[in-house]
Amino acid sequence: MKSISDLGDLRGKRVLVRSDLNVPLEYAEDGTATITDDGRIRASVPTIKALSEAGARVIVSAHLGRPKGSPEAKYSLAPVATRLGELLGTDVTFATDTVGESARAAVDAAQDGDVVLLENLRFNAGETAKSADERAEFAEALAGLADVFVSDGFGVVHREQASVFDVARLLPAAVGGLVETEVGVLRRLTENPERPYAVVLGGAKVSDKLAVIDNLIQTADRLLIGGGMVFTFLAAQGFEVGKSLLEKDQIDTVRGYLDQAKDRGVEIVLPVDVVAATEFSADADHEVVPAGAIPADRMGLDIGPDSAKLFADKLADCRTVFWNGPMGAFEMEPYAAGTAAVAKALVELTERGALTVVGGGDSAAAVRQLGFADDQFGHISTGGGASLEYLEGKALPGLTVLDETS
């Protein structure tokens, strides 16, 4: 894959950048949107800034949320344009459409070094269309705004979408610094990782991570399992899980993973205690109980204190750690301690020179909400789904197309 340095002198050229600016928003009663975590915007700034300083006319494209192919006010990128401008320290021109009159006017008026942000790509049905012809038509309109394409939205490179895949076939293309860094880190996780190598998996459903578990059993030394997915593992061992989240249809699959891990000498670490509550609420009655004896009227919402210590101990000697998914319902204070304990363990490992990777999505939001800074970890990925698919060994369309066009 080509990098930006391979594109030559970009002064005066119109550079279309596909960024990942899909940030969480909260809305006031008057409809005003507030960005609750600007991590993805901050991660996108270095590439945009570098292109601007090189004299390019930077056209940023991105999506927000899941609109159905037409404009929806709550998914407008207008608040993102404001925050991007603040982080860049310069005005960002916001086009109120993607390939229409406003976009064309903004691009035509741009001077060397200017930054334009297009409105939400997914306001156009062609962005995510299953029809290659429909995607191609939208991609041609996007490409018509620019001279060069830079792919810098790692969170979407696993999608075969117009702004990620099809545009790369129409313009001279390269990866941006963010994608280059992400791929470099993931290669360190998959190509001769420094050992011991541990993977911490959490989140709600084991079914979301079946393929990555299957692949990691071949490469990791330890798998530490928490979050809602752990109750299917506990049930597979014959334990009662009360009202906890349980995927009964995956119990046999999980038993197979436990057997496979044992045969390969891979250690699977499960909680020994959990915080169990009467309902999914911060105000619910809750207590710490043994992981194998959750009362029938309670649900597990976090790993317990003994489990937090166990997980920290199992990570203490590791040289490489990948973490994807919180250990509990971290958004509610009574169930945040397990996630905080894992984060603290990774911070300590980072300080000792280990490679620690926080795999995007809820994990990244969790560490920030709990007061940890991005630079306390080796790397915080901007693409949870893309990271997992890379670790599964899947080809990512947004990367393979750049290899094809190099």
Q: Please give the Cα distance from 104 to 83 (Å, whole number).
A: 23
List Cβ neighbours of 298 (8 Å cut-off, separation of 6 or more).
242, 243, 244, 276, 277, 278, 286, 287, 289
- Say what the pLDDT of residue 362 is: 82
How many other C-beta atoms can be found within 10 angstroms of the C-beta atom of residue 12? 12
183-392 fold: Rossmann fold (3.40.50)
Q: Alpha carbon of 161 to those of 229, 349, 405: distances in Å?
A: 30, 38, 16
Residue 18 known to bind ligand: no
For the full predicted model, state whether its pTM sits above 0.85. Answer: yes
Residue 11 known to bind ligand: no
- Say what the pLDDT of residue 385 is: 86
Residue 22 known to bind ligand: yes
Instruction: Tell how strand 299-303 and strand 286-290 pair up.
Output: unpaired
How many other C-beta atoms can be found within 10 angstroms of the C-beta atom of residue 352? 11
Residue 300 known to bind ligand: yes
Averaged over successive runs of 10 residues, the pLDDT of the chain (406 residues) comes to 94 98 91 90 97 98 96 96 98 98 98 98 97 97 98 96 97 97 94 96 88 91 96 95 96 95 96 98 97 96 98 98 95 97 98 93 88 95 88 92 84
Residue 353 known to bind ligand: no
The residues carrying an active-site annotation are 40, 205, 361, 385
Encode the chain in three state secondary structure.
Answer: CCEHHHHCCCCCCEEEEECCCCCCEEECCCCCEEECCCHHHHHHHHHHHHHHHCCCEEEEECCCCCCCCCCCHHHCCHHHHHHHHHHHCCCEEECCCCCCHHHHHHHHHCCCCCEEECCCHHHCHHHCCCCHHHHHHHHHHHHCCCCEEEECCHHHCCCCCHHHHHHHHCCCEEECHHHHHHHHHHHHHHCCCCCCEEEEECCCCHHHHHHHHHHHCCCCCEEEECCCCHHHHHHHCCCECCCCCCCHHHHHHHHHHHHHHHHHCCEEECCCEEEEECCCCCCCCEEEEECCECCCCCEEEEECHHHHHHHHHHHCCCCEEEEECCCCCCCCHHHCHHHHHHHHHHHHHHHCCCEEEECCHHHHHHHHHCCCCHHHCCEECCCHHHHHHHHHCCCCHHHHHHHHHC
Residue 194 known to bind ligand: no
Residue 192 known to bind ligand: no
Residue 20 known to bind ligand: yes
Residue 169 known to bind ligand: no
4-175 fold: Rossmann fold (3.40.50)
Residue 362 known to bind ligand: yes
> Quick one: CA torsion of 373, 378, 379, 385, rounded to 10 degrees?
-110
- Ordered by start, the domain boundaries in the chain are 4-175, 183-392
Residue 361 known to bind ligand: yes
Residue with structure tokens 């360190």?
Answer: 188
Nearest to 325 by CA among 160, 179, 170, 201: 201
- Say what the pLDDT of residue 406 is: 66
**Chain-centroid distance, C-alpha 268:** 24
- Say what the pLDDT of residue 274 is: 98
Q: Please give the Cα distance from 107 to 59 (Å, whole number).
A: 7
